[in-house]
Each structure stands twice: as C-alpha cells, then as structure tokens.
Amino acid sequence: MKKLAMGVLCAGALAIAGALGTSYYIGGRIQTAFEQTADTWSTEDGFAVRILEYHRGLVTAQAQTLWSFADAENTYDIVVTHDIVHGPWPLGRAGKVVSRFVLPEDSEPELIEALQDRAPLEWVTLVGWQGNTTHAMTSPHFTAHFADGSTLTWGGLKADWTLSAEQHAAQGQVRMPVLRLKSEDGSRMDLEDAELAFDSRIPEGHSFWDGPVSFKLGLLSVLNPGDDNAFKIQQLQMDSTTRLQDQSVDMGLDTRMAKLETPAYSASELVASVQLHRIDATWLDEWMRWAQGNGAAEDQGIALLRSLPTLLAGKPEFAITRLGMQTPDGPAELSARLAYVGQQPEAFNPATDIEGQFKALLPQPMLVQLLDAKVRSDYLTLLEQLGQEMSEEQLQAAVNDGVVKRMKTLLSQGVVEKRGDALEATLEFSQGSFKLNGRPQPLQHLLGIGGAL
C-alpha cells in the first residue's frame, strides 16, 4: 500500500511537472506572439504599440503596453495592462489574456469620476491549442457632465469574435447601444443601436475577404444651431457580400435607410444596390496589393494593367441595380449598368467592347432644384472671374431665368420625357452607338446638349 501511495504521488508529481513545463513553453509562445502582434500593429500612419514590460512566470505573466495615436499636432498615449494565464490548461485552453485599458492620468476629472475606477475598455482573449483565438471586448456605460456644460453619455460596448490561427477566418459581432455628445453651445450628436456582424474568410491563395458583412444603425443625428449641415439618419442597414466561385468573384452592397432629414430636404425609403459580377480573383488580388500600397506603387500599377486581359476575359459587369428614394414630391430612381462584351480581351476596344445603360426617373421639382444649384454655381463662378458682384435678388432672378431656359432645352431636345408628374431619361451605349430615350443620337449631339446645360 505504501509503495502504491508513493507511486501515485510520483505519478502526480510527474504530471504536475509536465503540466508546468508545458505551461512555461506555452507561455513562451504567447510572449512571442505578443511581441509579434505589437510589431505588426505598429504602422507608419501614426499608430504604434510598444511593450513597456513583460514578466513571465510558470503559469502566469503580466505585461504593460503603450498604445500611441499621433496626428499632425499631438500624440495620445494609452497604457494597457495585460494579465496572462498560460497554464496549466486554463479553461481548457492554451492561454487567457485579460487586457485593461487605463484612463490617462491627465483625463478630465469628471470622466474619471464617471468611470468609478472601471477600465474604459476590457479585452479578454482565449488562445486555443491550435493557435485560434476567441475574443470578448466590453466597455461600461456611463454619463459624464463636464465643467464647461457639455455632456457625454456612453451606453457601453460589447464585441465577440473568433479568429483562426492564421487569421484568415473571422466571425463575430459588435454592438454599441448609445453615444450622445452635447456641447455647451447647444450642438449635439446622437448615435443609437449600432451593430456590426461579420462571417468572413480569406480564400486559400488569395488576399481578399470572402463572406457577408452587415451593419445596422438605429439613429445618427447631428445638430448644430444655425448650421445648415445638420442631418438625421434613421434605420440604416448595409449588407455587403463577396462570393468566390472557381476563379470568379461576385460582390454586392445593399443599403437601406428609413429616413434622411436635412434643413433643406428630406427623403424616406432610401435604397441603393450596387453589384460587381464576374471579377477575376487573380486580378482582384493584384488590385488589393495596389490599393494597399505594398511594395513599389509603379510596379503594382504596371502589373495591374498587364492583368487587365485576365479581368476582361471573365466579362465583368458593374451595375447600380437600384438607387431610389421617396421624396415629398414623389419617387426618384436611378439605375446604371456597364459591362464588357468583347471577344478579344488582348485587343480591347472601348468603343465596341463596352455596353452600358443609364436610366433616371425624377420628380420635376427635384430636377428643378438640381438645375437651380447648378445655375447658381455657374453664375457665382462667372462673377468671381469677372470681379463683379450682384445682389441676392438679382442673382435669384438670373438663376430662375436660367433654370427655365435649361428645362426647356431638356424637354425640346428630348433629353427628358414627361411621365405623369415625373421626368424620365434613358441613355444606352452599345456597339459604339448611343440611344437617348430609344432614339439614336450621335456623340456630337450629346456633347452639345451637355455643353449647353
């Protein structure tokens, strides 16, 4: 019995030693990943992460990092503390990191009081044995009343997401219930019910993300007393999709908004749908590298041009399938399409290999408003060039006369046609020829109409 007990104790000691050894090894891997992440996140555009200290023990570690945000005039530093557990087997994972953002000491006392010793942001990361990570980020809600009469209401933040070991797959969501800013001069900003959800991955051998992303916003309101730039957006939703099939990529962005209000105009039931079809995946990779600016920009631009036949071989198409809204004067809608229909991508001829359509339906008062803005801008530019001035009454009279003349030109030239209380226009381009509202039109005539307007 005594030998058996000794054997059990020895086996237990070996198990603990093995666990601690594994824990220390895992801790080393976490420290290495920690340092690599700090280097990766540091960029040349003013953001940098620097490790201030890192103390690693058998099963735990403590670290501090400095996050710096720099603009043209100032640098903002935030210290983040990290409590790390890397064994033995915390919660069945290889490691756990709890990061707490520390409010700077020179922060406003009202903000410090409102937080009541709580971290403004806490980030918990669980590290899997294969290197995959699970993240949870939270921020407490609070209201701060400042000495100058301004107020900040922060409804908190909650985010949950997972990342694959190679960081090529991500799934999660972010929620921000409320943000209200009230200034001493009466201006304010209100944001409510913001939510972001994503489930995306980078396909093997490529550099773009594939999968859906959605964003919702209940309210965004900006009010500045005496400022015409105030606006209010209600019930905004944006859904983005990217789908890879073989070597072809389809992309889409659908946007819906219940209401948009400005001091001068309001609209409801706004919708916008933009689609890209049959985009070659290899060409998209080249475009991503060029857009991100990795390497020599000139070389990337040349590579992008050289890969153009590859893009055209798939017969790509760009379409605004619907851009519409309900205005006080009636519905307004636009749609457009541009597609490659050629047969020899290497001998690309824009005149014959491109096909396009554009269609617009606008309430007449809306078109009058657009013409009014254009005519006014033209007059102001001309007066500035001539060094002359005109009273507002004279200017408005001239603008009204110009709007009437341009509207007559649009109707008489057949650029727009009446459809009840609305005006409609359709422009088509195919095989090097144009059609305006179904009637063939030479390019010179269209350019002449544009010049007259």
Over residues 334-348, the pLDDT tens digits come to: 999 999 999 888 888
> Residue 20: what pLDDT?
32
Residue 142 has pLDDT above 70, yes or no: yes
Q: Report the distance separating Cα 257 and Cα 234, nearest Å.
A: 6
In this prediction, residues 180-209 reach a mean pLDDT of: 92
Residue 349 has pLDDT above 90, yes or no: no
For the chain, give the percent of residues with pLDDT over 70.
Answer: 85
For the chain, give the percent of residues with pLDDT over 90.
Answer: 40
User: Alpha carbon of 43 to those of 66, 80, 168, 431: distances in Å?
Assistant: 14, 18, 20, 48
Q: Report the distance separating Cα 244 and Cα 201, nearest Å.
A: 11
User: Alpha carbon of 204 to those of 11, 157, 333: distances in Å?
Assistant: 45, 33, 40
> Residue 57: what pLDDT?
74
In this prediction, residues 322-341 reach a mean pLDDT of: 93
> Residue 7: what pLDDT?
33
Residue 119 has pLDDT above 80, yes or no: yes
Whole-model pTM: value is: 0.80
Average pLDDT along the chain = 83
Residue 32 has pLDDT above 90, yes or no: no
Q: How confident is the model at residue 89 (pLDDT cuts 50, 70, 90)?
A: low
> Residue 165: what pLDDT?
85
Q: How confident is the model at residue 18 (pLDDT cuts 50, 70, 90)?
A: very low
> Residue 14: what pLDDT?
30
